Amino acid sequence: MTSTNTGAIRLNPDRNLAMELVRATEAAAIRAYPFIGKGDKNAADGAAVDAMREFLGTVDFSGTIVIGEGEKDDAPMLFNGEVVGTGRGPACDIAVDPIDGTSLTGAGRQNALSVIAVSDRGTMLDASSVFYMNKIVAGAEGVGVLDIRQSIGDNIRALAKAKGKLISEMSIAVLDRPRHEGLIDEIRSAGAGTRLLLDGDVAGGINAARYESRIDMCVGIGGSPEGIVTACAIKALGGFIQTTMAPKDDAEAARGVAAGLKMDHVYTADELVSSDNTFFVATGVTDGALVEGVRRKGPIIRTDSIILRGRSGTIRRVQADYLAERWI
């Protein structure tokens, strides 16, 4: 990552950056904890945004938010284009999602995360003008095998063969939305099973690329911001991701084209994030297959986080205990 402070001598700034960023996701997850299962997703999100913004301000880097909480007029903090950090250290693109799965948090359901993804400055695709992407995500076995332009049945059969599995053993994650009714029918007609996600397709995509996961593939239309975030993680996992833009109407498609996006193009991981110097940091808000949620244990609050580094392929798990009296 490009240094913005040539006078500072720092050893391994990239490695240190990841451990600084995880403090921000931990803070966001802890602040959201009191709202788990309380039915107020907006309050949970607001608390998480405030905490993440506060902690990002202490990190020694210059992070330009490419994917944030929205445009400046709609988001008072962590808006697209906002610069966060102390201004010292590496210059980065940053994608933030203080809670991926606000509805899950409000309902007390699994797989809500607090997420930050980082790459070298100018390397993260700005897809904010088109809100949705069609995605296909899998592990390393999908490289050179899967193609988003193929039918879902063909992709399932190809991946099953590459993984040495029966089609009936394949588990395909997809967001449980009315728009996916036909896709879900096609998956089941091909002989595979579905893992329907209520929300939070970042966790679904990452789990599809993890070798120890029960999910073999994650498919369907989800948020464009989540697609970019997932790509940062997939780079570290050595997995596979392809996306195409899914504008809701001609007007949104036109805005995307004006912003430099290609509507009929298949985006690969390297086009979504063109640098291999990526970080993905996530802390569990509620329990999930990727990380555990925030837990109160007597006088402490425990967080569970994962850090994925693209350049080295390192997966680091971090568990932290905080004094509850200082947070709640």
Work out the average pLDDT over 22-26: 96
How does residue 14 score in pLDDT terms, banded at 50, 70 and 90? low
Single residue among 250, 272, 294 that ends a domain in this structure: 272
Give pLDDT, residue 306. Answer: 96
183: domain CATH number is 3.40.190.90
Same domain, 197 and 254: yes
Q: Where are the alpha helices (DSSP H) in 164-249?
A: 181-189, 201-209, 224-237
Same domain, 155 and 70: no
Same domain, 150 and 113: no
Instruction: Round the average pLDDT of the chain to a whole number and report it.
Output: 91
Q: What's the whole-model pTM score? A: 0.89
How does residue 61 score in pLDDT terms, banded at 50, 70 and 90? very high
Same domain, 255 and 301: no
User: Which domain covers residue 229, as residue numbers?
Assistant: 132-272
Question: pLDDT, tens digit, for every residue of 246-277?
Answer: 999 999 999 999 999 999 999 999 999 999 99
The contacts found for 290-293 with CB under 8 angstroms, 24 or more apart, are: 290/111, 290/113, 290/203, 290/206, 290/207, 290/210, 291/113, 291/317, 293/29, 293/36, 293/110, 293/112
Same domain, 164 and 111: no
315: domain CATH number is 3.30.540.10
Question: pLDDT, tens digit, for every residue of 84-138?
Answer: 999 988 999 999 999 999 999 999 999 999 999 999 999 999 998 999 999 999 9
**Helix (H) / strand (E) containing 161:** helix 152-163
Report the number of distinct structural domains present in the chain: 2
Give yes or no for residue 73 having a pLDDT over 90: no
Single residue among 228, 246, 272 that ends a domain in this structure: 272
How does residue 12 score in pLDDT terms, banded at 50, 70 and 90? very low
Same domain, 111 and 137: no
